[in-house]
Structure 1
Amino acid sequence: MSLSIPRILTLTTRRYKDLAVYVQINCVPNGSTGGIMLNEHKDRLANGDTSYAFWGRGRSPKNKGEWKFANEAGCKTHALLDRLTGKHGFYSSFATRKLLRRLDEIGPDVVHLHNIHGYYVNIPMLFGWLAEHDCKVEWTLHDCWAFTGHCAYFTYVKCAQWRTHCAYSKKCPQLHAYPMTYSPFTCSWNFEQKKKYFTLVPAERMRLITPSKWLADLVGESFLAKYPVEVRHNTIDASVFKPTPSDFRVRYGIGNRFMVLGVASPWSDRKGLGDFVRLASELDSGRFVIVLVGLSEKQIGKLANILVALPKTENKEQLAEAYSAADVFVHPGVEETFDMTVAEAQACGTPVIVTAGSACAEISDSDAATVVPADLSTLKATIVKLARGGRVVLASRTDSAVQLAAIYSAADIFFNPTVEDNFPTVNLEAEACGTPVVTYDTGGCSETIEAPCSFCCGDYEAALARIALQAYSRSHCSPCRNKAKAPSI
C-alpha cells in the first residue's frame, strides 16, 4: 500500500499541471465575435481548464465564469469622447481598473483577447498589465483595427498608409467610418500609441490568431510583424446550419423566382449594399428576387419596394431557413477577414458567389463557390448564368399521393428520362395535375402521353431543346391549364 500512494499522487499532480486558467475578453458576448469568444470559453471548460469570459457591453451574465465589467453609461461616455477627440481605446479607465483587479485575483495563465475596440476598455492600462505579468497572451484579430491609426478596414478605400504611418503624409480618408470621429488631428497620434502599447508584450509571450491567411498576410506587413501568427478558421454549428426545408419562399412571396440572398449586419456599401440595390433595379423582377437579411429599420423603409428587406435576427434556425431557400448566396464585400455567412450558406447546401482578393475567396468551398472580380457587371452576368443552370432540389421518396400531386402541380415541366419502362404512369399523373411531360420515345412512354403540350423525344439533346422551349414560354398549353390543379401542401 505504501508504494501505491506516491503513484496516485504523482498522477494527480501531473493532471493538474497540464490544466490552465484562461480569461477571454471581448467587447460583447453576442454577434460573430462574441459567439467565437463564448465557444472558446466553452471549449476550455470542456477540456477541464478553468475559464472566464469577460465583456464590456451587451447582455448580463447568464452562466458561471461570465462577467460584464463595464456599464452602459461608461461605454456611452467613451463613445462620446471618442467622437470628439478620435482617441478610441484611451478612456474607460474605471471599467478597466475593475477588470485588472479581477485579473489580479484570478492570476490567469493565458489571457485571450478578441476585439478590444468597442468603447469599453483602456489600451494603455490593459497592455501595461499584460506586459508586467508573466502570462501568455493570445489575441484573435477579427479585423484590421489593431494596426491602423483609426479604421477597422482599408481595402474598400484603397488606403495603404497603415504600412508606414497613418495620417503622416495625408489625412485619414475614413474618419467618418467606424469608429467615427469629428477630430482630424489624432489619427497619427493613435497610430503611434497603438504601436507603442501593442508591442509591449514580448514576442515569446504573445501569439496572434487570424481567421484567414488574407489577414495574416496583412499583419505581416504591419508593426505587429514580430509576433507569431496562427491562422485559425472560424467554425460554424453544423447541427443548425444544414439544408433546412421551410415555407420561407411562400412566406415572403418569392415563388419560383431565382432567389439571390445577402446577409450582413450592419449593412453598408463596404458590405456590398450598393451592389445589391443596383442588382435589384437591373435584374428582371419577374425572374429574380433579391433578399437581404440584417437591414436597419431605416434601410428597410427605403428598400422594401425593390427587394425583400428583412431585419437582423439572432435566430440561427431562421438564418438556416433563408440560406436553404436561396438559389445563390452573394457576398460582394472585399474586406471581410472571415465571413461566417459564407460558410453558413455553403453548409446549408447553397452555392455562393464571393469577391476575388478577399478572405471569403480563401475560405469558401471551391466546389460550391464562384469567385468573381469586384465588378458589378461580372457579378450580374454570373448570377444570370447560374439562373440559367436551374436549381436542383432533392426530396426523399414519398408514398403520399397528395404530396406527389402537389409536387407535380408546382412543376413547370415534368422530365422523365426513363428508357425501359413499359408503361410509366408518372407521366399520366403529371399531366393530370396540369403539367406537361417531356420524355423519351422508348418503351411504353409514348402510350402515356396524351396532352398536346407533352412530347416524346429521340435523345437527350432533343429533350433538352424541348425543355428549353417550354421554359422560355413559361406557360402550359390550354388542355393542361384547364385541368384542376392539386392543392398545395
Structure 2
Amino acid sequence: MPTLLQISIEVNSGSVGRIAEQIGATIFENGWASYITYARNNNPSKSKVIKIGNKFDLYRHGIETRIFDSHCFSSKSATKDLINTIKEIKPDIIHLHHLHGYFINIEILFDYLKEYKIPVVWTFHDCWSFTGHCAHFDFIGCEKWKTECHHCEQKTEYPASLLADRSQQNYLDKKRIFNSINNLTIVPVSNWLSGKVKDSFLKNYPYKVIQNGIDLNTFYPKKSRTIIDELYNLKDKFIILGVASTWDKRKGLEEFPKLNELIDSKLYAIVLVGLSKNQIQKLPKSIIGIERTENVDQLADLYSAADVFLNPTFEDTFPTTNLESLACGTPVVTYKTGGSVESVNENTGVIVDKGDVRGLINAIKSIKNKGKYFYEKNCRESAIKNFNRKIKFNDYFELYKNILKNKDENQ
C-alpha cells in the first residue's frame, strides 16, 4: 500500500488545511495510506495526523522571526522529531504545503529530503517560497524577487520582523536550499502563480497547475435566506457578503466602509465573516461583522443567502472563497487581482479594476438588476464543472501515480 505524507500547518481547518484533508481523503478512498502533519488547528480527519512541535516551539520561532527576520530557520528540535517520524512511516511521496507559519526548519527538512531522495510534491498557495521575506508582493508591485531580494519594503508584514532585515540572505538561502533536491514537482494553484514561478529561481523544476477544489456536498445552494434574514435582521435587503480567514487592507477590508458610504442602507446590507473582535468594534454600525468560523455549514448558509459575494482583494493566488460562493449559487465580484479572476466570468460575476470602489457599486447594481436567479444556475454549474474537489484532488492522485511510475522506470 503506497503512503502519502502531507506536511501542513493545519488539518481540516482553514483553506489550506481543508485542501490537505480533502487530498488525504481522496487518496485514502483509492487505497493509499494518508498522513497529515499539523502545528496548530486540527479538526477530525480521515487521515492519520502528526503533531509538529508545541506552543513553545511556535512562540520561540515567532520571537526569532520578529528579531532576526529568520523565518523558517528555527524549530530545529521539532523538525528533527518530524524527520524521525517520517523515517518510521517511510512514505512513498511527501507533499508540502505552506512551510511558513512558525513551525518548520527548512534547512533541516530539505537536507533530509536531499539525502533520502523521497519524491516531493510542493503546492504553492502563495509566493513565499521564492521571495526573501513576503508571501505576496502584488500589493506593492515589488519585483526584486525576480533577481535578488534586499531592503524589503514589507519587512514588518507577515512574517513580520521588527528589527533585522535579512531578506537578501533569506533569498539566497532559499534559492540554495530549495534547489538542492532533484525529485521535486511544483503545483501552483493558479495560472497566475505558475507565471510567477517561471520567473523565479525555481523555474527549472517541473510544474503542474492544479486549481483548488471544494466539497460540492458541503457548499451548495441552500434555502437559508429566511434563517439569515431573521438572525441578522436583513429582510428585504440586498446582501453583500465578504469572507476571509484573515482580514486586512490587502484582503480589501478597507473597501467595505468606503462602499458602505455609497450605498443606501435601507436597500443594501454588508455582512463580513472572519473578523477579529477588535475589527468588528471598528466597523460602521450598519456593517454586520462575524468572527471566523470553522462551521462550514454556517458558511454555506451565508453564501447561499447572499445576493453577491464581494472579494475586493488586492493580492491573491486563487481564493477558495470565490469557489465556495459559486458552489452556493452566488455570483462573485472581485478586483482584477492575481488568480482571483480565474474563477469568474461574465456568467458568474463581474471583475473590477483594483481600487475602483465606484466600479464595485456598478457591478453590484448590475447584478441586482439582473437578479440572483440569472446567475444562480451558471454559478453552480461552473463550480461543478471546474472546481469539484473529487476531480481536482484526483488530479493530485494521478500526479502521485505518475511520479512513482517514473521513479520505478528510472531505477
TM-score of the superposition, structure 1-length normalised? 0.73
Stretches of structure 1 lacking an aligned partner (at least 5 in a row): 1-18, 395-489
- Inter-CA distance 193–345: structure 2 relative to 1 (3 Å threshold): same
- Inter-CA distance 62–343: structure 2 relative to 1 (3 Å threshold): closer
Q: Secondary structure of 1:270's match?
A: helix
Who is 1:252 aligned against? 232
Distance in 1 between the 2:372 and 2:121 partners? Answer: 44
Q: Is the 8 A contact 2:238 2:307 kept in 1?
A: yes
Q: Is the 8 A contact 2:237 2:266 kept in 1?
A: yes
| Alignment partner of 1:239 is 2:217 | yes
Who is 1:73 aligned against? 56
Following superposition, the deviation at residue 93 of structure 1 comes to 0.4
Q: Which moved more, 1:363-372 or 1:135-144?
A: 363-372
Following superposition, the deviation at residue 311 of structure 1 comes to 1.0
Q: Kindly name which structure, 1 or 2, has the bigger radius of gyration based on alpha carbons.
A: 1
Q: Secondary structure of 1:386's match?
A: helix
Q: Which amino acid aligns with 2:30?
A: N
| Alignment partner of 1:267 is 2:240 | no
Identity over aligned residues, as a percent?
A: 37
> Relative CO higher for 1 or 2, CA cutoff 8 Å, sep ≥ 6?
2
Distance in 1 between the 2:319 and 2:360 partners? Answer: 19
Q: Which moved more, 1:323-332 or 1:64-73?
A: 64-73
| Alignment partner of 1:296 is 2:309 | no
Q: Secondary structure of 2:180's match?
A: coil
Who is 2:99 aligned against? 116
| Alignment partner of 1:315 is 2:298 | no
Q: Is the 8 A contact 2:246 2:274 kept in 1?
A: yes
Q: Secondary structure of 1:87's match?
A: coil
Who is 2:68 aligned against? 85
Who is 1:214 aligned against? 192
Task: From 9, 14, 32, give the equivalent of 2:15.
Answer: 32
| Alignment partner of 1:380 is 2:380 | no
Residues 48-105 of structure 1: per-residue CA shift (max 9 Å, x gap): 1222111222348866621112111111111111111110000000000101111122
Q: Is the 8 A contact 1:90 1:122 kept in 2?
A: yes
Q: Which amino acid aligns with 1:282?
A: L
Q: Which amino acid aligns with 1:369?
A: G
- Inter-CA distance 207–153: structure 2 relative to 1 (3 Å threshold): same
Task: From 338, 359, 362, give the equivalent of 2:318.
Answer: 338
Q: Is the 8 A contact 2:107 2:177 kept in 1?
A: yes
Residues 86-133 of structure 1: per-residue CA shift (max 9 Å, x gap): 100000000001011111222222110011111011010000101111
| Alignment partner of 1:162 is 2:162 | no
Residues 240-264 of structure 1: per-residue CA shift (max 9 Å, x gap): 1111112102211112121111100
Report how many aligned residue pairs link the two structures. 372
Q: Secondary structure of 1:231's match?
A: coil
Q: Is the 8 A contact 1:281 1:306 kept in 2?
A: no
Poorly superposed stretches of 4+, deviation over 4 Å: 60-64
Q: Is the 8 A contact 1:243 1:348 kept in 2?
A: yes
TM-score of the superposition, structure 2-length normalised? 0.87
Task: From 313, 338, 355, give the equivalent of 1:358.
Answer: 338
Q: Secondary structure of 1:367's match?
A: coil
Q: Secondary structure of 2:347's match?
A: helix
